[in-house]
């Protein structure tokens, strides 16, 4: 069942459940921060509207910088602002930032420990019709490998707003991952959010498996758990909204309870959540694992739902992965 302690959206399984893109939450978070803290500045590289900076730009024009199509310049200008007392948010598509400007961010923001928040938009195959050039599916791999960075992947627009606002409290670089299309609002205003905390959104007694999900894919994981319960398979679904630093205590307790684990993400299964979980459990608590995500391939143009189906990342695939991991848990039976 849905974890009652988290005050999640009770209408989550309704056909008319509210849907909103996580990028909207980013835009709302920026406006909130802009009003609260005069040191917050926002930069974009010709993507003000689609990365949802427009409202900030309207309200705080002096603190908004349009850099044109120049992601390296945007990142390094932000680095200069970030070491001069400002909290600088840079907004672009993740394929270009931190994709194209990776080394610039590495040197001038991350190693330099500048107070910059990197907002990567249009991530995952959910970006849809734009095609694989614009679907960032490696951004988690190339950011979480950096020392000294926090990586946040909000699961819905509300958590996106909370993540954006909380990221300003982190003294140093943060990567924030957002998506383009609408996705169900899983949480409510009352749902607690803390950077570095993995939360159990779906709970069961004596679970057969645990599902770790990140970003909007958490919704698919919860639906999978709901349907699995109907056929007698019990699971826990945990929301990994902070990919780095990992919540080690929760990962250990999840592993000990379930002894079998599936990761779910709209990202390559190498290097992202799947990679992070595999590294963690290999070191601390070896257990059978299955990985749902993009499997060593680029995707293509199409609607998000078509792509999810074609690339094996939907509810059906999660359910199969859970069954498979449970079968591996008891190899002799």
Q: Does 82 bind other proteins (CB under 8 A)?
A: yes
Q: Does 67 bind other proteins (CB under 8 A)?
A: yes
Q: What is the contact mask toward other proteins in residues 113 to 152, using x (rule: CB under 8 A)?
A: x---------------------------------------
DSSP string, 174-219: EEEE--SS-EE--S-TTS---TT--EEEE--SS-SEEEEE-TTHHH
CA distance 34 to 38: 6
CA distance 192 to 198: 11
Q: Does 72 bind other proteins (CB under 8 A)?
A: yes
Nearest-CA neighbor of 98 among 81, 116, 86?
116
CB of 47 to other proteins, least distance (A): 15
Q: Which stretch binds other proteins (CB under 8 A): 19-27, 66-74, 182-190, 240-248?
A: 66-74
Secondary structure class of 136 (helix, strand, coil):
strand
Q: Does residue 320 carry a catalytic annotation?
A: no
Nearest-CA neighbor of 210 among 143, 260, 280, 273?
260
Q: Does 85 bind other proteins (CB under 8 A)?
A: yes
CB of 79 to other proteins, least distance (A): 5
Q: Which of 18, 28, 54, 71 is catalytic?
A: 71
CB of 99 to other proteins, least distance (A): 15
Q: Does 89 bind other proteins (CB under 8 A)?
A: no
Secondary structure class of 220 (helix, strand, coil):
helix
Secondary structure class of 331 (helix, strand, coil):
coil
Cβ–Cβ < 8 Å for 304, 128:
yes
| Count of residues in contact with other proteins, rule CB under 8 A | 29
Q: Does 5 bind other proteins (CB under 8 A)?
A: no
| Residue numbers at the binding site for other proteins (CB under 8 A) | 41, 62-63, 65, 67-68, 70, 72-73, 75-86, 88, 103-104, 107-108, 111-113
Q: Which residues are catalytic?
A: 71
């Amino acid at each position: 069942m849905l974890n009652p302690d988290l005050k999640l959206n009770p209408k989550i399984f309704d056909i008319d459940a509210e849907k909103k893109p996580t990028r909207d939450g980013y835009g709302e978070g920026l406006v909130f921060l802009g009003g609260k803290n005069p040191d917050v500045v926002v930069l974009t590289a010709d993507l003000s509207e689609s990365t949802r900076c427009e409202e900030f730009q309207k309200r705080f024009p002096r603190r908004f910088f349009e850099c044109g199509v120049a992601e390296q310049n945007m990142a390094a200008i932000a680095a200069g602002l970030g070491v001069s007392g400002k909290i600088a948010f840079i907004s672009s598509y993740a394929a270009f930032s931190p994709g194209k400007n990776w080394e610039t961010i590495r040197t001038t923001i991350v190693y330099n420990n500048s107070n910059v928040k990197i907002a990567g938009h249009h991530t995952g195959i959910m970006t849809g019709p734009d095609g694989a050039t614009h679907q960032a599916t490696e951004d988690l791999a190339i950011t979480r490998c950096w020392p000294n960075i926090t990586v946040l992947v909000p699961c819905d627009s509300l958590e996106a707003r909370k993540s954006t606002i909380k990221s300003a409290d982190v003294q140093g670089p943060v990567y924030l991952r957002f998506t383009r299309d609408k996705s169900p609002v899983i949480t409510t205003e009352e749902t607690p959010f803390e950077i570095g905390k993995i939360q159990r959104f779906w709970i069961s007694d004596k679970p057969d498996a645990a599902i770790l999900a990140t970003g909007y894919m958490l919704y698919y994981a919860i639906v999978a758990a709901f349907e699995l319960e109907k056929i007698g398979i019990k699971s826990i679904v945990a929301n990994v909204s902070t990919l780095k630093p990992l919540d080690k205590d929760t990962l250990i307790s999840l592993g000990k309870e379930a002894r079998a684990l599936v990761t779910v993400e709209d990202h390559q299964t190498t290097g992202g959540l799947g990679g992070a979980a595999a590294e963690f459990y290999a070191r601390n608590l070896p257990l059978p694992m299955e990985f749902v995500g993009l499997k060593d391939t680029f995707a293509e143009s199409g609607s998000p739902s078509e792509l999810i189906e074609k690339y094996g990342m939907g509810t059906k695939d999660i359910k199969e992965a859970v069954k498979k991991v449970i079968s591996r848990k008891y190899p002799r039976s």
